[in-house]
Amino acid sequence: MRIIINFFLLIILSSCSSLGKSDAEGEYRYVPITEALKKLSDEEVAARLRTASITCENDMLKVNVPSKAVDPEGWQTGQEERQRYYKNCLELKGFERRFFSASAIKKINKKEDREMTPEEYIEKPRFY
């Protein structure tokens, strides 16, 4: 009898936990926030983001972080400082970190993969 009660209790608990809402699906991306960067083509923005990211990563490594074995709390604080420095550095370079949901990413990908109309070919030729 006790086994049956435990079994039903286990089923009830597992069914309640599966009804909980999962974490929001999506990802963070860096997007340009300055007008000068917004006017550039997508390839040039990607190249600028890549160089800014490399520069910020190199500068971020200059933030002192104590050893994890010696000071675990100091190590954690140092890692947080490095992440904060990286985000601020990229923001100073003209990029902002924004969250895009999975549906927004699908829309962006669909827009990039669509066929160009003849009018768009005239304005912006695909092949140079």
pTM of the model: 0.60
> Which of these, 86, 109, 87, 95, lies nearest to 49 by C-alpha position?
95
pLDDT of res. 32: 92
* pLDDT tens per residue across all 128 residues of the chain: 778 776 666 676 666 555 555 556 888 889 999 888 888 888 899 999 999 999 999 998 888 888 888 888 989 999 999 999 999 999 999 999 999 888 888 887 777 666 767 776 666 655 55
pLDDT of res. 48: 93
What DSSP state is assigned to residue 71?
-
Is residue 25 within 8 A of residue 101, CB to CB? The reply is: yes
pLDDT of res. 95: 93
pLDDT of res. 109: 77
> Which of these, 29, 71, 58, lies nearest to 46 by C-alpha position?
29
pLDDT of res. 55: 93
Q: What angle do CA 48, 92, 61 make, to 5 degrees?
A: 85
pLDDT of res. 56: 92
pLDDT of res. 54: 93
pLDDT of res. 10: 67
